[in-house]
A and B are shown apart, each in its own frame.
Chain A
Amino acid sequence: MQYVIIGNGVAGTHAAESIRRLDPQGVITLIAAEKDAPYCRPMISMLLEGSAGAHQLPIRGPDFYDTFKIDALGGDRVRAIDVAARAVTTAAGRRFSFDRLLIASGADPRPIKARGLHLENLFFMRTAAHVMAMLRVLPACRRALVLGGGLVGFKAAYALLRRGLAVTLLIRSGHPLSMQVDREAGAMILAALKKKGLTVRVQAEVTAFEGGATVTRAQLSDGSEIPCDLVVIGKGVLPALDFVPREAIAVDLGVVVDQHLETSAAGIFAAGDAAEAYDIARKTRWVNAIWPEAVAQGRVAGMNMAGRPTPYKGSLGRNVIRIFDLDVMTGGLVNPPPDARYTVLQHHDRRRQRYRKLVFRYDRLVGMVLVNAIEQGGVLLSLIQGEIPLRVRREALMAPSFNFRQLLPATA
């Protein structure tokens, strides 16, 4: 059996392991754009912050490919998939036949439209290489501008602030993490960031960057300008799918997959940031480009590819961040439509400095935002993922004393 895996991110890595565990003989070829060994992408912001060293990032040891008998090609990108002939061709001109193919090519940073994008010191923050490049110029920088209040922009701003730069965060919505949290938690987070010295400009966009060779300032849509010598663009990611033939493989935002992570083309699978699977909370297809989903999808895709049919229930957007003195954990559908099917419970306990918002669709939990007291958040997330009908009162999930016991049937 010939297995080809596009991408050596965590999805591709877990897929390769799953396949090898089930198929000791099959040939596994892994084609990766990045030269580095598989590493933990979420940790690159810690690299930028200085709280982790480069040696902590790899998720597998140097002998991983040898041990698992994987033919790994780094530094090459897949250019095309010939679905009928069942082969892929790469930028370097190589061609590989496959019986089973996994598209785990991840996502690339979404580009922005502005003048002056050719200037130096404008960065995305998607790869370890991006961060290493930032670290090289960092000593000379004083004023950072971060575009985007999503997870990337947010973590970049936090990291640069910890590095001692003056940081301005420019976001389109009213508060950071607008995709993850609701307005109340967003306000709490914004207040915490501002207290620590972050400048935040809301509802603003950059129209142009200006400077000599490197950037010295940014022009905004409202006519104002911000001096800056380092810019990080964190305006989201788009699945990296330019090589996917859309007439043969269904693609929406990501590659559309069924509950076995198989695409519309038989024997071709997709997993990770490139894939668009069913979202349990939204009840529709969605790209949840987060680490734990890449892990789960890669594992399950590998099992299915190796001939063990394993269903994947669906993905769930979720996140946990520790930011200055706040811990925030979110998941599922956080801002439901104003619809009689949904019940929202929220409570800001100012004395205990704890905020909790829970969203229910009828008798099932579908979304949550926790600020502080996050240790047992996984219990709630498992209720969302499992779509468990609740036998307890919804209010019980809000109490500080809520814990796993309350979900078990009462003893006689």
Chain B
Amino acid sequence: MKRVVVHPERCVGCMQCMLACATAHSQSGVLFTAVRESPQPRPRVHVGVGLYGEGFPNRCRHCDPAPCQLACLPGAISRDSASGTVLIDPERCINCASCAMACPFGVIRYHPEHHAPLGKTVAVKCDNCLARLRQGRIPACVEACKTGALTFEEADAALKRQTDAVARSVSRTAEEAPPAPGFALLTAARKSQLALKNP
């Protein structure tokens, strides 16, 4: 089964995934009209800043077991067994934020949502774009990402690539050029600038 895999070293912080995610969860499905909807759709993936100005698309891992599901007071969080997706029922949610207390990744946000009762603030997080998957499409964040920081693939395939990369890196004879020397230059400059700020 394919899942969304995050490759943090590829994130350039452009936040396209956030725009695409919010748009995908809007009523109109189009960016220009989505921003004018009420309630305004919000992203479920959050690009936070690292220590060196790098970006990171922080999304729900759909943990198993899910700490949020165990913490939820009214039992509003459940798992879709077919896809393993952890889902929040906006009707049941009482906006107590127990899930925020439980989530070690900080991926849950609280705001009105067009699937929730009108005006009710509820907990909202990534739903694996189940609606899009049923239409034969891929998750919106993956579709938007042009650097390959977010991919939609079998977990095994991603793991194998990583294993191969590690194997190559410890091999004495293998020579590997960095995948993006320009980005490495930029990162080095950012790190230097940040280091200068800490006296």
Contacts and interface: CB of A to CB of B under 8 A. Distances in A.
- Do A and B associate with each other? yes
Interface of A: 40, 42-43, 46, 51-52, 56, 59, 291-292, 295-296, 299, 318-320, 322, 327, 329, 331, 374-379, 381-382, 392-393, 396, 401, 403-406, 408, 410-412
A410 B98 CA distance: 30
A291 B67 CA distance: 13
A379 B104 contact: yes
Given A408-B8, A410-B50, A43 B106 contact: no
- Max count, chain A CB within 10 A of own CB: residue among B50, B71, B184, B191: B50
Given A320-B98, A406-B48, 8 more contacts: A291-B73, A292-B98, A292-B102, A296-B70, A320-B96, A393-B198, A405-B50, A412-B187
A295 B95 CA distance: 19
Given A42-B73, A405-B54, A408-B56, A376 B101 contact: no
A208 B70 CA distance: 42
Contacts of A381: 101-102, 104
Interface in B68-114: 70-71, 73-75, 92, 94-106, 108-110
Interface of B: 8-9, 46, 48-52, 54-56, 58, 67, 70-71, 73-75, 92, 94-106, 108-110, 178, 184, 187, 191, 198
A379 B105 contact: yes
A290 to B, nearest CB: 10
Contacts of A318: 101
Contacts of A393: 198
Contacts of B184: 412
Contacts of B46: 403
B96 A42 contact: yes
A101 B37 CA distance: 56
A52 B106 contact: no
A405 B198 contact: no
Given A292-B101, A408-B50, A411-B54, A322 B106 contact: no
What are the 7 closest A-B residue pairs judged by CB atoms, nearest first?
Answer: A376-B106, A403-B48, A382-B104, A405-B56, A411-B9, A378-B103, A379-B106
Nearest to A391: B51
B87 to A, nearest CB: 18
Given A377-B101, A411-B8, A56 B92 contact: yes
Contacts of A319: 101
B178 A412 contact: yes
Nearest to B9: A411
21 contacts: A43-B73, A46-B94, A52-B94, A56-B92, A56-B94, A291-B71, A291-B73, A292-B70, A292-B102, A374-B97, A378-B99, A378-B100, A378-B104, A378-B108, A381-B101, A392-B51, A405-B48, A405-B50, A405-B55, A406-B51, A410-B52
Contacts of B54: 405, 410-411
Contact of A396 (B51, B102, B105): B51
B185 to A, nearest CB: 12
A52 B92 CA distance: 10
A316 to B, nearest CB: 10
A319 B46 CA distance: 24
Contacts of B58: 403-405
Nearest to B76: A56
Contacts of A56: 74, 92, 94
Contacts of B95: 322
Contacts of A52: 74, 94
A161 B50 CA distance: 43
A18 to B, nearest CB: 11
A408 B104 CA distance: 13
A405 B49 CA distance: 7
A410 B48 contact: no
A358 to B, nearest CB: 15
B98 A291 contact: yes
Given A320-B97, A403-B49, A408-B8, A378 B102 contact: yes
B101 A295 contact: no
Contacts of A401: 48-49
B110 to A, nearest CB: 7
A381 B101 CA distance: 7
Contacts of A392: 51
